[in-house]
Chains A and B, each alone.
Chain A
C-alpha cells in the first residue's frame, strides 16, 4: 500500500501511486456496494463527524453512507445553523469538536484554505469535502475512477473541462489529478470564467466550445456557480447555453465514444441539455454518484489505517 497521509486536504500533495492506491481500493468497494449485504468493518468503532459549513445534499449523503457502510458511527452537523452564527470562530468550533474525540472529520467550508487551517488544530484525520474555490479532492478521485472504469485507463486521454472554471474547486482538483496522471487537458469556457494565470497550468484553453471538444475522450461539464458570482461574468443564461451548453450538436465534435460527466447538481438547460444528461450511452453522471460512495469509503479506510498505525497519545 502506498498512502502515507494523515489527512486528505487536496489532490496537490498526492503522488500518482497514491492516487492509484485509492482508486484500486475503491474498485473493491464498488463490488461491495453492489452486493446484497453492503457492509464491512474497516471503520468499526471509529467516529466520523460531517461538518458542512455550506449547503450540500449529495456530498454529505455520500460521505454519510460511506462511513455507515464501513461501520463508523456517523454524525452530521449542519454548521450553517449552529454556533458559527453566534460568532464562534472556526478554530473554536474545531477545538470543541476535537474534545469529543472524533476519528474522521469531513469538512466543507465556503472559504479556500479553511479546511487546511482546521486540520492544523485537531488530532484526527480531516477530509476536505470542498473548500471555497480551492479543492474538492474526493470529487476528482470519483471522476478519475469513473473515467478509468469507462475508458479502461487514466492516462493519455483528451479531457475537456467546460464551463465555470474560475469558481470551481472541482475543476482545480481535476486539473491537478488528471495532470498528474498525464492526460491532455483542455479548458473550455468564456474568458471571464477562466482563472487568472491559467495558461501557466500546462493546459489548452478554448473559448470556442466546438473547437475545444474536437476529438476528446471525456467531456466534463461544470455547474454554473451562480451563488459564487457577484454579477456580470456572463450576459445571460440563454447566451451561455447557446455558446457553452452541452447539446447534441456540440457533443458531435467529440469522439463518438466520448463520455459526458457532471459533478451535479445540474442546471438543465443552462450548462447541459437534459437529453444528453439522461442518455445512458453517453452520460456517466449516475456512475459518478455511485463511484463517489466507493471512493469516499476507500479514502476513509486508508486514512483510518494510518490513524491506527499512529502511536496513541496517552491521556493523563
Chain B
C-alpha cells in the first residue's frame, strides 16, 4: 500500500459541488483517496495542517506559451515549470506558437520530452491546426493526437480562408479533436494596439472596434453549425460577443469559451502613458466590457479563465507602444489576480476554481481539476488573504513582463502538489 498524506484543518474549495467548507483530504500515492467535511479525519502516514487555508484542485491553464523551441531566453520548460508550481498551476496546456510552430509529430515529441524532463508540473501540449500557423494546410491532426496533442490551435493567427478552416474543423470532428480559435475579424483588427474609444483616440493609438471579436465569433459559430466540430474560443473579452456565445450554447453546439485574467482584472485605462506591459492581444477593453465578462464567468457562459502566459524580454517591450510585442507573463499572478475578483465580491472561490481547474480539465478530457476520490492529487494550498506588493524580479519566469509589477495583491500559494508530490512550498 502506498504512502498516505492527510491535509487537515483545510478550507476545501470544491468547484464541482460548488462548495467552500472546512474539512480534510486524504491522498494515497498519486491520487485523492477520500475527503470529508463533517466526519472525523482518518489516520495517515503524514499529516499536513493547512492552518485554515484553502485547499483547491490545482489550476489547469489553457494557453501557456513556453518559448521552446526558438526563444529559450524568454522562457524555458524549466523556468515555466517553476513559475507554474509557484503559482499553483499544476497542468500547463502549452501553446504551439513557437519558432518554429509545433506542427509536426516530431516537434511535438521534442517538446513533450523537454517538458517532462525539465518541469515539476504536468505539461500537455497543443499543436498547430495548420502548418506553420499559416492558415493554408491542416496539420497531421491524427498523428499529432497520437503524439499527445490535447487540442489544436493557430493561437492568435486567425484562419482567414474559410474553406481551409471548414475542412480542418470537419476533419478534426472525425477524430474528436478539440479546436481552439481566436475569434477576431483580422481585417478590422490589423495594426491595432488598443480598443477603439476615447482613450485610444487621446493616445493616438491605432485601434480596433470590439465588434471585431463578435464578427470573428459569429463566423466561427456558423462554421460550427456546418461542421459540428468541438470548439473553444480562447478569449472572449467583450460584451458584444456574449449574446452570440449564449445562443450558440443554447442551440447545442459543442462550444466553450475562455477569457484571460488580464481582461478580467484590467481595463484599457491601465495602459496610461503607453505602458507596454499592458499591451496584450486582444487589447484591454473598456470597464463595461470587463464587467460583462466577469458576469459571464459567474453565470458560467464563459467556462475558462486562463493566464495567456506570454513571456517577452525587455528588448521586445522597451519600444514605442505600437512596435512593442504583445503579451504578459501570468503563471504566478493568475491566482492573486483572480483573487481580486473574490475580494471585490464579484466571484466566489468555487466559481473561480470551476473556471481555472474543473472546466478546463473537463473540456480537455483530463482527470484533474476535481476534489474527488480517484482524481489525481494535483492540489494547491493557498492563503487567500495574504497581502503583498508584486515585485516582478521575484518571478520565476525568465521574462518579467507582468502588468501587476508594483501593485498590491492578496493571496499566496503555500503548497503545490502534483500527483501526490510536493513541488512547491512557500518559504
Q: What is the interface of chain A, defined by CB distance below 8 A to chain B?
A: 12, 89-91, 109, 111-114, 116-117, 131-135, 169, 172, 195-198, 200-201, 230
Contact = CB atoms under 8 A, between A and B. Distances in A.
B319 A90 contact: yes
A89, A134, A196 pick with most chain B CB within 10 angstroms: A196
Contacts of B199: 197
Given A111-B320, A113-B321, A172 B204 contact: yes
A298 B199 CA distance: 30
A198 B201 contact: yes
Given A134-B203, A134-B204, A197 B196 contact: yes
A278 to B, nearest CB: 32
A91 B200 CA distance: 24
B209 interface: yes
B273 interface: yes
Contacts of B274: 112-113, 116-117
Interface string B297-318: 0000000000000000001001
B197 A111 contact: no
Contacts of A135: 204
Interface string B192-209: 000011111111110101
Contact of B320 (A90, A196, A198): A90
A213 to B, nearest CB: 23
Interface in B183-220: 191, 196-205, 207, 209
A134 B200 CA distance: 10
B200 A197 contact: yes
A201 B201 CA distance: 10
Contacts of B315: 89
A83 B315 CA distance: 17
Interface residues of B, number: 22
A222 to B, nearest CB: 14
Contact of B198 (A109, A114, A131, A201): A201
Contact of A200 (B198, B204, B320): B198
12 contacts: A12-B202, A90-B320, A113-B204, A114-B320, A131-B204, A169-B204, A172-B201, A196-B200, A197-B196, A197-B198, A200-B198, A230-B191
Contacts of B323: 111
B348 interface: no
B201 A197 contact: yes
B156 interface: no
B201 A111 contact: no
Contacts of B209: 196
Given A90-B320, A111-B323, A195 B201 contact: yes
Contacts of B320: 90, 109, 111-114, 117, 132
Nearest to B191: A230
B204, B319, B323 pick with most chain A CB within 10 angstroms: B204
Contacts of B191: 230
A-B pairs with the 6 shortest C-beta distances? A113-B274, A133-B204, A134-B204, A196-B196, A195-B201, A197-B198
Given A113-B322, A197-B196, 5 more contacts: A91-B319, A111-B323, A112-B321, A197-B198, A197-B199
A175 to B, nearest CB: 9
Interface in B282-336: 315, 318-323
Contacts of A133: 204-205
Contact of B203 (A109, A112, A117, A201): A112
B205 A112 contact: yes
A132 B321 CA distance: 11
A143 B322 CA distance: 29
Contact of A112 (B197, B198, B204, B319): B204
Nearest to A121: B318
Contacts of A200: 197-198
Contacts of A116: 273-274
Nearest to B275: A113
A28 to B, nearest CB: 32
A12 B322 CA distance: 20
A230 B209 CA distance: 17
B278 to A, nearest CB: 12
A89 B205 contact: no
Contacts of B202: 12, 172
A172 B200 CA distance: 12
Contacts of A89: 315, 318-319
A161 B331 CA distance: 48
Contact of B207 (A12, A172, A196): A196
B196 A91 contact: no
Contacts of A111: 320-323
A228 B243 CA distance: 36
Nearest to B208: A196
A235 B201 CA distance: 23
B198 to A, nearest CB: 4
Contacts of A113: 203-205, 273-274, 320-322
Contacts of B322: 111-113, 132
Contacts of A131: 204
B319 A196 contact: no
A198 B200 CA distance: 10
B201 A196 contact: yes
Contacts of A196: 196-198, 200-201, 207, 209
Nearest to A134: B204
Nearest to A132: B204
A11 B205 CA distance: 17
Nearest to B322: A111
A264 B16 CA distance: 66
Contacts of B321: 111-113
Contacts of B205: 112-113, 133
A196 B315 CA distance: 31
A12 B319 CA distance: 22
A279 B100 CA distance: 63
A109 B205 CA distance: 14
A135 B320 CA distance: 14
A67 B202 CA distance: 30
B302 to A, nearest CB: 25
Contacts of A109: 320
Nearest to A135: B204
Nearest to B273: A116
A178 B405 CA distance: 36
A114 B209 CA distance: 24
Interface string B260-288: 00000000000001100000000000000
